[in-house]
Structure 1
Amino acid sequence: MPKYTFSVNGNPVTVDVPADMPLLWVLRDKLGVKGPKFGCGIGVCRACTSHLAGNEIQPCVTPVAQCAGKEVTTIEGLADGDTLHPVQEAWLEQDVPQCGYCQPGQIMAAVALLKRTANPTDADIDKIENVCRCGTYFRIRQAIKNAAQKM
């Protein structure tokens, strides 16, 4: 099998897996990174949302071969040591999570949005397509707006 070397949350890793293995399985099953969650496996629910080279991706449909030589960031790599990212802080302040399953993906999508749009409108936020079965969308929207002001 081929070997792929890339970074996960700032740490270099090398994995010996098939080229078409989804990054989500590499992260969870091979590297023990549990933040990105499996939801649908077809990139629709977005519970696994992470970043590859600074861009939002769905690891469940991203082949590991696409990661070679790049930086993968998951929810575990978002904080700076004990200092939470402003989006994480806003999530806590707004008491966003209920069950919490989708929240890592929601937060990573929000970070990507704020990278593209410093002051998002409701319409911008509504374009985030991550599914939350608990329906905390109104708190997610407020948390994103609060984080935007902090950033």
Structure 2
Amino acid sequence: MQNIKAAVAVFCTACICAELTAQLTGQGWARRSIKAVAGLYILAVALCVLPQAKGEWQTFALPTASSVELGTQKETVLRAAASQLEETLEARCREELGAEVAIRIELEETAEGVQVHSLTVTPTGEAEETRDAVEELLQHTLGVSPVWNVPGGENAP
């Protein structure tokens, strides 16, 4: 490593001197000559230093991963759209109605396009007083009435 540091220091000094010489002479031939000598110097230093470098070369091992069923590209796009729609509607319920709910949406592709296959709402806070408003918002936005998943209670459409 010490040899490499010394070689780099000498090379940097040579480059600075070469550039100063080229600037002072203003000749094109001087610049080309200095570049050729610098290239030869780099090659000579590399040939001398590399065999002495005692680095341990490590092979790169590819990470192993279990296979995951991702489905088709359409299914992936539908899941991503449903997830984004869930987040947007949860935020609207929180901001506009003050209702803390978790919304789960399943989308399906039909001949006419994409539609909501199922819509499940789980209250995460006190949502009894805002239940009608949440249902109205979801019915107006998605055109589907939600199924309420109330833990320990009665599920209602």
TM-score by length of 1: 0.26
> For the pair shown, which has the larger CA radius of gyration, 1 or 2?
2
